[in-house]
Chain A
Amino acid sequence: MTQIPTSKPSIVDTLRKHQVFEGISPDCLEAFAATAHHVSLQPREVLIQEGAPAEEFLLIDSGRIAIEIFVQGRGHVSIETLGPGELVGWSWLVEPHRWHFDAIAVTPSDLIAFPAAAARELLASNHECGYGLLSRFLPQIVQRLRATRMQLLDFYTLEQ
């Protein structure tokens, strides 16, 4: 994983490109971007390891990230893949702040990483900003929950 030193305005510009940060106040976005940094991954490069502390979360700027789980006897099973504009990781928000899945790059990918502690502190100290951010993260969580439910339906298999 390569961390690329960058100036803050370019991170804010990157965030602004993505729908999930649409409508967030400039101050809030600045504060949120203050601790963020760019990340670039090569294919098969592991981003998140199941069980490790969830010390950051990420926004995909380009590329494709797979959410995987290791199943004894089946190996790494990809549950879903995520693309540009999608957030990687919720565990930073929820106790005990440990990852439940692996995340791995499928293609060369560029992401923005947000340190979790700073993000949590911002949400706790600035409720207006925190509400703004969470109310934009929540639809993504819901959309992915819905998609997972649809996957459970296995709708290409004929009902009997």
Chain B
Amino acid sequence: MTPTRVLIDRSGLDALIATLAAQGYRVLGPTLGRDAIVLGDVAGTDDLPVGWTDEQEAGHYRLRRRDDAALFGYVLGPHSFKRFLYPPRQRLWSVSRGSGPDLEVRAEPHDDRPLAFLGVRPCEIAAMRIQERVLTGGEFPDPSYADRYGRAFVVAVQCTEPGGTCFCASMRTGPRAGTDCDLALTELLGPDRHDLLVEVRTPRGEQIVAGLPAREATDADVATANEALARAEASMGRSLDTEGIVELLERNIESPAWGKVADRCLACANCTSVCPTCFCTTVEDTTDLTGQHAERWRRWDSCFNRDFSFIAGSLIRHSTRSRYRQWMTHKLSAWHRQFGTSGCVGCGRCITWCPVGIDITHEVDSIRNHERSASTFHTVGGRYR
């Protein structure tokens, strides 16, 4: 019987990728793009950003060379796996005027190839689960998400070196991967070793691991991984105080803090583009030049976009204040009411990719501080539009 924990080296990882590909999976993982780590097709470990790391701070992202050959020595780029499970643009159906009087709708076929995700960080796994609940947990489940996620093979990589904007520990989504993956890897990198500890989480994962060139992991290996994860947990770049956050934001819907953050916010929608849980979309209906063929496309939208709240000739949310408030209260508060979980997984992307460095963790603090200082007195004036 295969042990639930094994050690593989880089060649073992190559074998894992090859096995998944041989089983028909399209293997996707981190690759080196221009100035950023982006997700793409991975045929072997040569495609990974080996020996690179990403330096992240509010409004700051730089790739740097590492002085080792770490396979997963970086955290997260602007892409999340959302782009494969819930694509930025997706055709939902098309329709043609036939020769007869009737219109013929063609539903979009499901993809043939199942997806395998390699190097999925625990926060990303949490995000997939959250999106699954949003998109498939209601009365009208989204069939394409259910199909893609249901068939996807997930190879997690647990985080031993959190990034500068990471706060998954606060959101209880990392740095350890839970059970929502097939395999969980931990990179063990030292002066005299370079291994990956593979923990098997599903029978499907077990089957794949059975064919890999692997050694049995010792208790010492497992202890080393656990120590690294414990260190990571204690060295997050950020933390978010979630105590009573649902009610906090509901109570403070008119906080002056919203006006202050709106003074800096450009409403550029970067945060929603990089967020792994943001699910808002719009639909576009198009025709070709003949007028005989029409299509419906779904594409990512953002609550920061001006037209997002457009209705019958007017906008509901004119001000940036109201749009930032919508985004953050939805993410951290209303999401709990709607789906029983937070909409934030603590990946920190919205902080890194904000062009003016707005930090969601600081904004929560700001709301708390305003509430504390405002609770003692009321004055006329002092509020601005």
Interface residues of A (CB under 8 A from B): 158-160
B314 contacts across to A, CB distance below 8 A:
158-160
B381 within 8 A of A: no
The CA-CA distance from A158 to B314 in the complex, in Å, is: 7
Which residue of chain A has the shortest Cβ distance to B315 in the bound complex?
A: A159
Interface residues of B (CB under 8 A from A): 312-314
A158 contacts across to B, CB distance below 8 A:
312-314
B313 contacts across to A, CB distance below 8 A:
158-160
Which residue of chain A has the shortest Cβ distance to B311 in the bound complex?
A: A158
What are 7 A-B pairs at a CB distance below 8 A?
A158-B312, A158-B313, A158-B314, A159-B313, A159-B314, A160-B313, A160-B314
The CA-CA distance from A158 to B313 in the complex, in Å, is: 6
Q: How far is the CB of A156 from chain B (nearest CB, A)?
A: 11
The CA-CA distance from A158 to B310 in the complex, in Å, is: 12
Q: How far is the CB of B321 from chain A (nearest CB, A)?
A: 19
Which residue of chain B has the shortest Cβ distance to A160 in the bound complex?
A: B313
Q: Is the interface of A mostly helix, strand, loop or mixed?
A: loop
Which residue of chain A has the shortest Cβ distance to B314 in the bound complex?
A: A159
Q: How far is the CB of B301 from chain A (nearest CB, A)?
A: 22
The CA-CA distance from A31 to B314 in the complex, in Å, is: 55
Q: How far is the CB of B283 from chain A (nearest CB, A)?
A: 22
Q: How far is the CB of A17 from chain B (nearest CB, A)?
A: 43
B312 contacts across to A, CB distance below 8 A:
158
Which residue of chain B has the shortest Cβ distance to A157 in the bound complex?
A: B313
Q: How far is the CB of B322 from chain A (nearest CB, A)?
A: 16
Which residue of chain A has the shortest Cβ distance to B313 in the bound complex?
A: A158
The CA-CA distance from A3 to B176 in the complex, in Å, is: 92
The 7 closest A-B pairs by CB, nearest first: A158-B313, A159-B314, A158-B312, A159-B313, A160-B313, A158-B314, A160-B314
Q: How far is the CB of B314 from chain A (nearest CB, A)?
A: 4
Q: How far is the CB of A157 from chain B (nearest CB, A)?
A: 9
Q: How far is the CB of A103 from chain B (nearest CB, A)?
A: 37
Q: How far is the CB of B65 from chain A (nearest CB, A)?
A: 55
The CA-CA distance from A158 to B312 in the complex, in Å, is: 7
Q: How far is the CB of A148 from chain B (nearest CB, A)?
A: 23
Q: How far is the CB of A26 from chain B (nearest CB, A)?
A: 43
The CA-CA distance from A160 to B312 in the complex, in Å, is: 9
Q: How far is the CB of B310 from chain A (nearest CB, A)?
A: 11
The CA-CA distance from A141 to B285 in the complex, in Å, is: 52
Q: How far is the CB of B37 from chain A (nearest CB, A)?
A: 45
Q: How far is the CB of B48 from chain A (nearest CB, A)?
A: 53
The CA-CA distance from A159 to B313 in the complex, in Å, is: 6
Q: How far is the CB of B323 from chain A (nearest CB, A)?
A: 18
Which residue of chain B has the shortest Cβ distance to A159 in the bound complex?
A: B314
A160 contacts across to B, CB distance below 8 A:
313-314
The CA-CA distance from A2 to B313 in the complex, in Å, is: 51
The CA-CA distance from A48 to B250 in the complex, in Å, is: 54
Q: How far is the CB of A21 from chain B (nearest CB, A)?
A: 37
The CA-CA distance from A8 to B43 in the complex, in Å, is: 103
The CA-CA distance from A4 to B104 in the complex, in Å, is: 76
The CA-CA distance from A159 to B314 in the complex, in Å, is: 6
Q: How far is the CB of B253 from chain A (nearest CB, A)?
A: 23
The CA-CA distance from A159 to B312 in the complex, in Å, is: 9
Q: How far is the CB of B20 from chain A (nearest CB, A)?
A: 55
The CA-CA distance from A156 to B313 in the complex, in Å, is: 12
